[in-house]
């Protein structure tokens, strides 16, 4: 796993435990897990995000076209 052995993982875990304490460590792990889950979900659904961005861009184009038409009429 990325060239990190069991002793290095134990050292990193010990340092994290010393820095954050045992009470805050589960909350940090839960937050990290949910962030990874959200990232994976976002990677699996790029079409939804792209469609939403396209709709926003179309709305901006329409307002720009409306501004140009309004300026031409005045």
Residue 36 belongs to a domain: yes
Q: Work out how many domains the chain is built from and give that number.
A: 1
pLDDT confidence bin for 55, thresholds 50/70/90: low
Residue with more model confidence, 51 or 68: 68
**Domain range spanning residue 42?**
25-73
Residue 44 belongs to a domain: yes
pLDDT confidence bin for 58, thresholds 50/70/90: low
What was the pLDDT predicted at 57?
Answer: 63
Averaged pLDDT of the chain: 78
Nearest CA among 43, 45, 15, 20 for reference residue 30: 20
Cβ neighbours of residue 17 closer than 8 Å, sequence gap 6 or more: 25
Residue 9 belongs to a domain: no
What was the pLDDT predicted at 35?
Answer: 92
Residue 46 belongs to a domain: yes
Specify whether the CB–CB gap between 20 and 28 falls below 8 A: yes
Specify whether the CB–CB gap between 25 and 16 falls below 8 A: yes
């Amino acid at each position: 796993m990325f060239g990190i052995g069991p002793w290095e993982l134990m050292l990193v875990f010990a340092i994290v435990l010393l820095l954050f304490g045992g009470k805050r460590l589960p909350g940090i792990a839960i937050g990290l897990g949910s962030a990874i889950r959200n990232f994976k979900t976002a990677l699996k659904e790029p079409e939804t995000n792209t469609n939403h961005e396209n709709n926003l861009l179309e709305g901006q184009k329409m307002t720009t076209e409306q501004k140009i038409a309004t300026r031409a009429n005045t």
